[in-house]
Amino acid sequence: MATYNQGVFRTGTYGGGSGSDPLVPEPVSAQIIQELPTQSVLLQRAKSVPMSTKTNRLPVLDVLPVAYFVSGDTGLKQTSQQKWKGVTLVAEEIACIVPIPEAYLDDAQVPIWDEVRPRMTEAIGALIDGAGLFGVNRPSTWSTDIYSAAVAAGNVQVMGNGVDIAQDVAFLGEKLARQGFSIDGFASRPGFNWRLTSLRNSQNTPIYVPNLQGTPGGTLYGYALGEVDNGAWDATKAQLIAGDWDDALVGMRADISFKMFTEGVISDDSGKVVLNLMQQDAQAMRVTMRIAFATANPVTTLQPTSTARYPFYVLQSAGSAS
């Protein structure tokens, strides 16, 4: 449901009685304690492709040449072919506007815009990951999301088939290698690193020990493992996604751009004015970005059939949606 009347406004009740606004406190510390905003796993792991126009078409190897033995000294040498197919990147715009009344900004004891900006960036990262990984609000011009495409190709490993998670991951790595792809990184649900850290052998010794002096995390079988903690991960569908992240393509048409407005109007999709910045003494911060997403499924020497291969594999718990 589209919304046009949301923003940061002064509210009367925050659970502590009338007037207990945490950003416009009475004689209370103005320090805001919050977690460092997270970024997008796709922007971190996928291959970045610069775009000079809205649409960019990339060639992907689709048919490999075949060699033949020559029959005898005067036998005819056969011909072969090599083909490519196109993967299309279409940049779509992402935007967000946060309006704040100037009176609220004046009374606040913290630089509110400094608090708003990273959260707007985080919201864009979550939107990109949700669409690219699980198809949430995915534009029709983008490729099928990684999870759905992996399931359609049969690239699903259910936890519990091995003796532990480590063996489950090894199974999916082997199956991906038999399709001609190699894993170069993992993305997982929040808390997955702790699940690995709890693994023990028969002598009750930890199996996965990335760094006992730091935070859980690091590598899994030598490849980077990152938790998607921006709210985009759907743990009901997958616990872990592994694959060749160079085959996930993110087209960058325009990077994240912020702009401040002190004049202008904000209207809904019917044209009704919701907020007049000049007349109602308000400011608004707008963030925009133009980005495309697609996955490539290049032919490999081990699997020439496109429907039987895909460069990503999903690890899911028993009973997960698929």
**What pLDDT digit, counting tens, does each position of 43-72 carry?**
889 998 998 999 988 888 777 688 888 888
Counting Cα atoms < 13 Å in the Cβ hemisphere of 177 gives 8
**Which pLDDT score, from 0 to 100, does residue 302 have?**
92
Residue 115 to residue 104: CA distance in whole angstroms: 14
Distances from the Cα of 99 to the Cα of 94, 116, 259, angstroms:
17, 10, 12
Under DSSP, is residue 276 helix (H, G, I), strand (E, B) or coil?
Answer: strand
Q: What is the mean pLDDT of the chain?
A: 85
Rg of the chain on CA atoms, in Å = 25
60: phi then psi, degrees, rounded to nearest 5: -130, 130
**Which pLDDT score, from 0 to 100, does residue 37 have?**
46
**Could you read off the pLDDT of 238-275 as tens digits, one per residue?**
999 999 999 999 998 888 889 999 999 999 989 999 99
Confidence class of residue 30 from pLDDT cuts 50, 70 and 90? very low
Contact 24, 17 (CB under 8 A): no
pTM equals: 0.85
Region of 198 on the Ramachandran plot (φ > 0 left; ψ -120 to 50 alpha; else beta): alpha
Residues 6+ apart with CB under 8 A from 130: 136, 137, 232
As a whole-number percent, the residues of the chain with pLDDT over 70 amount to 86
Query: Which two structure tokens, joined as six digits, stand for 307?
Result: 């429907």
41: phi then psi, degrees, rounded to nearest 5: -70, -35
**Which pLDDT score, from 0 to 100, does residue 27 have?**
54
Distances from the Cα of 291 to the Cα of 43, 141, 252, angstroms:
10, 11, 5
Residue ranges and CATH numbers for the domains of the chain are: 41-65+81-316 (3.30.2400.10)
**Which pLDDT score, from 0 to 100, does residue 214 have?**
53
More confident residue, 245 or 24: 245
Counting Cα atoms < 13 Å in the Cβ hemisphere of 64 gives 11
**Which pLDDT score, from 0 to 100, does residue 36 have?**
42
